[in-house]
Structures are given as structure tokens and as C-alpha cells.
Amino acid sequence: MLKVTIVVLAALLALPAHATEAGWALLRNGGQTVLLNHADAPGSGEPANFDFENCRTQRNLSDRGRQQARRIGALLAARSAPAGQVYASRFCRTVETANLVFGESAVELLDALDLPEVDAESDAEDFRTVLELITDYSGSGNMFMVTHPENLAVWLGIRSRAGEAVIVQPDGEGLRVLGRVVLN
């Protein structure tokens, strides 16, 4: 019984590494769409005086988050995962993640990647915008969309870690996960 338990645990521990390697293989080939969860930003929610134009009024990356973002950029370069188009939500933590990973000049802000709102109609429109960009993308590099774990939960039904990359493709009216890469 103990041997069976050990074998099962070893197999379960090996799954994330395999999933990560399969994800890396997709990224090396380019042409993929990657939903990238922003790096570590402790806490939850936004302060009452939240303002997109003022990062001091937002929940921001920690020092650990900045290190994660730099490490993600280094890993993508070392693993030859080419970046094509790069989008980020308007929140400072996603913009800073994207800037540290890809460089400031590469990042385009996209409000459809912002946190989901209470308004279901607005959220559905944001998802349609994201889905259309993904469907229309034909670049040879990978398209990265730096967003929030809440969007990944709503759009894909998954929980993601800070700095995790989820490779997706259109699937009818939704998205299908092709691979995941844990980058932190």
C-alpha cells in the first residue's frame, strides 16, 4: 500500500513539470496567445480612492513581484519564447509586470483586460473584445495579455498563480487551455 501511495504522489508531483514543458514547447514555436497573470501583488481589492492614473491609490507589485516579473522576462528570453504583441490591463500591477517582462515600449493598454466588473453585460463585451483579438492574431511571435487571476477564473474556470502563463486558443464562443507555464 505504501508503494502505491508513493508512486501516486510521485506521478502527481510530475504533472506540473510535464504541463510546464509542454507549454514551453508551444511558446518556442510562437504564434500562441498567452494570458499572463500579473506578478505578486499582496492583498485583495482596491482602496476606496482608487484611480487608474495614480498608482499610489492601487494595490501594486511587491518587491517579490518585481523580481518575479524580471525573472519571467529572463526565462522567456532564455527559453527562446518570442514575444509579438503585448497587452496589459490598465491597473498599475499589470502594467508594471508587462514593462518589467517585455520593456515599456512593447506594451499596449487594453481596458478589456481590467478586472471584471459587477455589470455582466460589460464583462461579456470585454470578453468578446479579448476573444476577437485572440481569434484575429496571426503574428509569428506570441501574443501576451497581462491580466488578473479573476479574469482567468471567469474566462477559463481556473485558478492561477501570480506570474503564471496560460496558453489559450479560441474554441467556439470561448477559450480552450492548451498549456500552462508556471514562471515564478
Query: What number is the average pLDDT over the span 9-29?
Result: 62
Dmax of the chain from CA atoms?
59
pLDDT at 122: 87
Residue spans of the domains in the chain: they are 2-182
Whether CATH 3.40.50.1240 fits 2-182: yes
pLDDT for res 142: 95
Cβ–Cβ under 8 Å, residues 148 and 91: yes
pTM exceeds 0.75 for this model: yes
Which of 137, 164, 135 is closest to 151 using CA atoms? Answer: 164
The alpha-helical segments, DSSP class H, found in 59-148 are 63-78, 92-102, 120-136
Q: Which residue has the cell 508594471?
A: 96
Q: Position of cell 506570441?
A: 142
pLDDT of residue 19: 57
Q: Which residue has the cell 487571476?
A: 149
- Which three three-digit cell numbers place residue 137? 492574431
pLDDT, one tens digit per residue, over 49-90 is: 888 888 888 989 999 999 999 999 999 898 888 899 999 999
Q: Where are the alpha helices (DSSP H) in the chain?
A: 2-29, 63-78, 92-102, 120-136, 149-156
DSSP-derived 3-state class of residue 4? helix
